[in-house]
Amino acid sequence: MRIVLVGPPGAGKGTQATRLAEKLRIPHISTGDLFRANISRQTELGKLAKSYMDAGNLVPDEVTIAMAKDRMSQPDAENGFLLDGFPRNVSQAEALDELLKAEGIKLDAVLDLEAPEDEVVKRIAGRRVCRKDSAHVFHVTYSPPKQDGVCDYCGGELYQRDDDSEETVRTRLEVYHTQTEPIIDYYRAQGLVVTISAMGPVDEVTSRALEALKSGQ
Ligand code: AP5
Ligand code: MG
């Protein structure tokens, strides 16, 4: 399957993508995680991305699209992928369409995770991610690690993302509404959008997502 995951910051895209990718046996491709990996390796791309990410703004399309294309061309993505955080505006969605068209393939669904703003703010405020792999995500109250400050999966140090400050979160939410939400209408016109509530326990949301993907609604 080829799926795009969309939803406001903190809705649980990364949390759900890890689980869905495992169940559906497709790679989880998160542009946010790819940028964070570049930041920790101190690459030129990482340095460029960090200035935009710390302010809560989108990294320029040119570099983002090139990075996403490169990742999607890896052998593990040949038969499907779950895109988390890409595309994030209409021009990225158009670029993805062009890329898929050139390959003669299509998206199967755009899974839209809905969560109210007060909930996403609480989720982000308590989030802790692993320094070794930012796809390893915890929450101090909702899904605490077994040992304080230590990743359950790899033993890495847990930290609070630099862009999870209250002020940056406000900008990220605004950027989501103005730049990312329009892709939902873009994909709705293609009949691809499946909307589910992201509220409730993580496992329940995963079951809801799998069910919705199966039935196409
Ligand atoms: P990115 O890393 O994609 O951040 P985001 O979209 O803002 O989303 P988050 O990762 O904050 O939230 P999430 O929905 O993944 O939630 P999570 O599962 O962690 O992007 C960061 C930045 O990179 C962007 O601002 C931009 O600068 C740049 N960027 C990335 N892609 C780009 C692109 N395509 N173009 C340009 N720039 C780009 O969950 C949140 C918390 O809630 C966790 O603590 C989790 O444990 C908890 N939680 C999850 N589910 C539940 C639940 N059901 N109940 C209770 N708690 C829950
Ligand atoms: Mg995420």
Residue of 113, 36, 107, 103 lying closest to 67 (CA atoms): 36
- Report d(CA 140, CA 149) in Å as an integer: 9
Residue 128: active-site member: no
pLDDT band at 68 (very low <50, low <70, confident <90, very high): very high
Tens of pLDDT, residues 145-201? 999 999 999 999 999 999 999 999 999 999 999 999 999 999 999 999 999 999 999
**pLDDT tens across 113-129, in order?**
999 999 999 999 999 99
Q: Where are the domains of the chain?
A: 2-215
Most informative mutation of 34, 82, 113, 123 for ligand 1 (most atoms within 8 A of CB): 123
Residue 107's pLDDT band (boundaries 50, 70, 90)? very high
pLDDT, mean over the chain: 96
Q: Residue 214's pLDDT is what?
A: 92
Catalytic option among 19, 71, 123, 127: 127
pLDDT for 215 equals 84
pLDDT band at 53; cut points 50, 70, 90 = very high
Helix (H, G, I), strand (E, B) or coil at 47: helix
φ, ψ of residue 133 in degrees (nearest 5):
-155, 110
Residue 106 annotated in active site:
no
pLDDT at position 25: 97
Please, which pLDDT band fits residue 217 given cuts at 50, 70 and 90? low
pLDDT at 70 (0 to 100): 97
Q: Topology of 2-215 in CATH?
A: Rossmann fold (3.40.50)
Q: Is 13 a catalytic residue?
A: yes
pLDDT tens readout for residues 75-101: 999 999 999 999 999 999 999 999 999
**Within the chain, where are the H helices?**
13-24, 31-40, 44-55, 61-72, 90-103, 117-125, 166-175, 182-188, 202-215
